[in-house]
Amino acid sequence: TPPFLVLGIESSCDETAASVLRYTKEDDIEILSSIIASQDEEHAPFGGVVPEIAARAHMQKIDYIIEAAINDANIEYTDLAGIAATSGPGLIGGVISGLLAAKGLALSLGRPLLAVNHLEGHALSPRLAAPCAFPYLLLLVSGGHTQLLSVNGLGDYTRLGSTVDDAAGEAFDKSAKVMGLGFPGGPNVEKWAAKGDPNSIPLPRPFKGKDHADFSFAGLKTAVARAWEASDKSDIAKANICASFQNAVGDVMRERTLRAIAMFKSLHGELAKRFVVAGGVAANKALRARLTELCDTEGLSLLAPPLKFCTDNAAMIALAGAAKLAAGDIDDLDVAARPRWPL
Ligand code: KG4
Ligand code: ZN
């Protein structure tokens, strides 16, 4: 019975993370520690996340990161009521590293294992920053995900849209790579875009006019590569392509989100009031401005949690795990890692 402490472990992409969270009740939690080791440096030479490198880095760091989270929280392992770990979706080698560490701890401490869907962690992440009443519409845009979710309540999610190919952040990273802008690409594209003309280069708006809330970015990325090839590769060309690309992503995001808002409103009627944007791409000021405008016209209040809560972290995994534990929803020690696991 609450309050209790849960350890969360996250290793599904390129962040090795561990966190200790105190759970008193659904909207009364405290993060006692949240340690995150990024692998950006390991992957930068390749312009994107390399699965084999990620798996090895997780394996090397995981025990140390867990130890750091316990120490930082100033607790003993035996104070923990449960061990939560991401068990999918994600890069399988990394997921296995974290899940195995969690299983070892659960077994040796005699505490329940909580296998958490990484996307559920993201869905609940705004609640790490401040209480946020259900339901809310969540736009999750990061290097690994592009999702529109109706978060109806704990354990109750409706997926309204997702990408059929690349994630939004991946589109930024791949476009940046084509132009030699460095990794991660998003912040660099935003910087160059500020100096360019957003209407100078014609680029596609994938799924424009379609009556669903799914995304596609592959065609946009290819069009950027073609525009770059055809350009004189000057700084002006770079700025114009970045600005046009960012503008296209903004149009796409606005239209797809508008469809999802209609679905969200038909699910919840009067209760449909809150819109949350989360993930690394949400750092983009131009995109944020587009979403702010959209929420104003749609009568929704916009919430953008601090980035440290809505980019990959283990506190969100601890929170989702704690909610599972409170509901008595625990997992067997032989639970499998799942590379694909739609919410
Ligand atoms: O949530 P996040 O830190 O984690 C992963 O998914 O790993 O998101 C990282 C992504 C990268 O693709 C990065 O290029 C993108 O977020 N990103 C941005 C900006 N800052 C980070 N994209 C566009 N504009 C930005 N300012
Ligand atoms: Zn993630």
Q: Is 212 part of any known ligand binding site?
A: no
In this prediction, residue 40 has a pLDDT band, given cuts at 50, 70 and 90, of confident
Q: pLDDT at position 304, please?
A: 92
Token readout for 316 is: 């969100």
Decide if pLDDT at 342 tops 90: no
- Show the domains of the chain with their CATH numbers: 4-129+309-326 (3.30.420.40), 136-304 (3.30.420.40)
User: Residue 269, Cα to own-chain centre: how many angstroms?
Assistant: 27
What residues does the ion ligand 2 have nearby, CB within 5 Å?
A: 144, 312
Residue 313 CA to ligand 2 centre (angstroms): 8
Closest residue to atom 2 of ligand 1, CA basis: 280
Q: Does residue 264 have its Cβ closer than 6 Å to ligand 1?
A: no
169 ligand 1 Cβ < 6 A? yes
DSSP 8-state code for residue 53: H
Which residue, 99, 90, 170, is CA-closest to 122? Answer: 90
Ligand 1, atom nearest to 167 Cα = 12
Cβ-based neighbours of 51, under 8 Å, separated by 6 or more = 91, 92, 93, 94
User: In this structure, are residues 174 and 186 in contact, taking their beta carbons and an 8 Å threshold?
Assistant: no
144 falls in which pLDDT band (50, 70, 90)?
A: confident
pLDDT at 178 over 80: yes
Does ligand 1 come within 6 angstroms of the Cβ of 318? no
Residue 122 confidence class, pLDDT cut points 50, 70, 90:
very high
Give strand ranges (E) for 265-311: 274-278, 301-303
Inter-axis angle of helices 168-178 and 218-230, to 10 degrees? Answer: 20
pLDDT at residue 335, as a whole number: 98
Window from 45-49, 113-117, 144-148, 177-181 with minimum mean pLDDT? 45-49
Q: Which residues of 21-43 are buried (b: 16+ CB within 10 A; e: fewer)?
A: bbbeebeebebbbbbbbebeeeb
> The tokens of 283 are what?
């750092």
pTM over 0.90: yes
The bound ligand whose nearest atom lies closest to the alpha carbon of 15 is 1
pLDDT at residue 271 tops 90: yes
Average the pLDDT over each of 4-18, 49-63, 268-282 and give the range with the smallest value: 49-63
pLDDT at 92 over 80: yes
Q: How far is CA 23 from the centre of its chain?
A: 22
Ligand nearest to the CA of 95: 2
Q: Which of 58, 281, 285 to mutate to test the pocket of ligand 1 (most atoms within 8 A of CB)?
A: 281
Q: What's the CA-to-centroid distance between 116 and ligand 1, angstroms? A: 23
Asked if residues 140 and 125 have their Cβ atoms less than 8 Å apart, the reply is no
Atom of ligand 1 nearest to the CA of 170: 12
Does ligand 1 come within 6 angstroms of the Cβ of 279?
A: yes
Indicate which atom in ligand 1 lies nearest the CA of residue 169. 12
Q: How far is the CA of 193 from the centre of ligand 2 (A)?
A: 25
Q: What is the pLDDT of residues 63-73, one digit of tens each?
A: 999 999 999 99
For ligand 1, atom 13, which residue shows the shortest CA distance? Answer: 186
Closest to 185 measured CA to CA, from 200, 175, 198: 175
Q: What is the mean pLDDT of residues 189-193?
A: 98
Ligand nearest to the CA of 121: 2
